[in-house]
Amino acid sequence: MNMQHSQFTESLREWRKHKKMSQLDLALAADVSQRHLSWLETGRSQPSREMVVKLSEAMDIPLRERNSILNAAGFAKLYSERELDDPAMKPVKNILTEMLVHHEPYPAFVLDKQWNIKMQNNAANLLFEIGGPIAHVWDAIDDGGSKNIALLTIHPNGLRQFISNWDEISGPFLRRLKKEALESGDKEVIARYEQLAQYANQEYDERLGEPFLPMLPIELELGELKLSLCSVISTFGTAQDITTDELRIETFYPANEQTAKFFKE
């Protein structure tokens, strides 16, 4: 087995284990024989390009990592990666803009895989400015110009100083970031999560056995102003471009009438 093919077999095994699938599970999901899958993992059989794509789809591997597996198997990349400003991405950007505008008067953001803000609506600007000029906050957390919403939330000099229920939401927030990082399978994203987790400066447990609320609101407190917000994450379900596949739309909703009134006024 040559070096390149050994990279494919290793990637295939790692992703199957990462997805917690047995060979039988993956064989059934991809509609191939377990014997053939075993031969692919041991290098006894060479995969076709179609087989690599089929297995990747069965494991729901992110498009960026599918390209890596294709390369490991000796094939060219299948999925393109375009910037949002690329003319070919205009339909995607138009949809995102419409979603952001439609969500007014409540905050909404478009984020990339590392939680950097790519787009935001006017209500998001309002949310950011309630603690003072947001430029001062970005400078205080020293984000290097990336405008990372996870860092803005978790950094002691960021929004965290206004989150009155930080001890309550920090565990679920970190678990969400960790889950998204691990599911991406991207070493850079995982490393970014580890950097962010250091700012939490606390241990958290899984709170096993405790009842969970359907949604956990973020409580913001600035003097007499108190806001309560819940967030919802949306993604593109049939993305065929890496950038689109990695985008996340985070929309915030008021958790009480006082918060709804603040944004509507």
* CB-CB neighbours of 246 under 10 Å: 21
**DSSP per-residue letters across 149-186:** HHHHHHSTTTGGGGBTTHHHHHHHHHHHHHHHHHHHT-
Domains 3-72 and 87-264 share a fold: no
pLDDT tens for each residue of 134-175 = 788 888 887 677 899 999 999 988 888 899 999 888 888 898
pTM: 0.85
pLDDT tens for each residue of 216-258 = 789 999 888 899 999 999 999 888 899 999 999 999 999 999 9
Q: Does domain 87-264 have CATH number 3.30.450.180?
A: yes
What is the domain partition of the chain in residue ranges? 3-72, 87-264
pLDDT tens for each residue of 104-118 = 999 999 999 999 999
How far apart are the C-alpha atoms of 54 and 125, rounded to whole Å? Answer: 43
How far apart are the C-alpha atoms of 85 and 135, rounded to whole Å? Answer: 24
Q: So what CATH class is 3-72?
A: mainly alpha
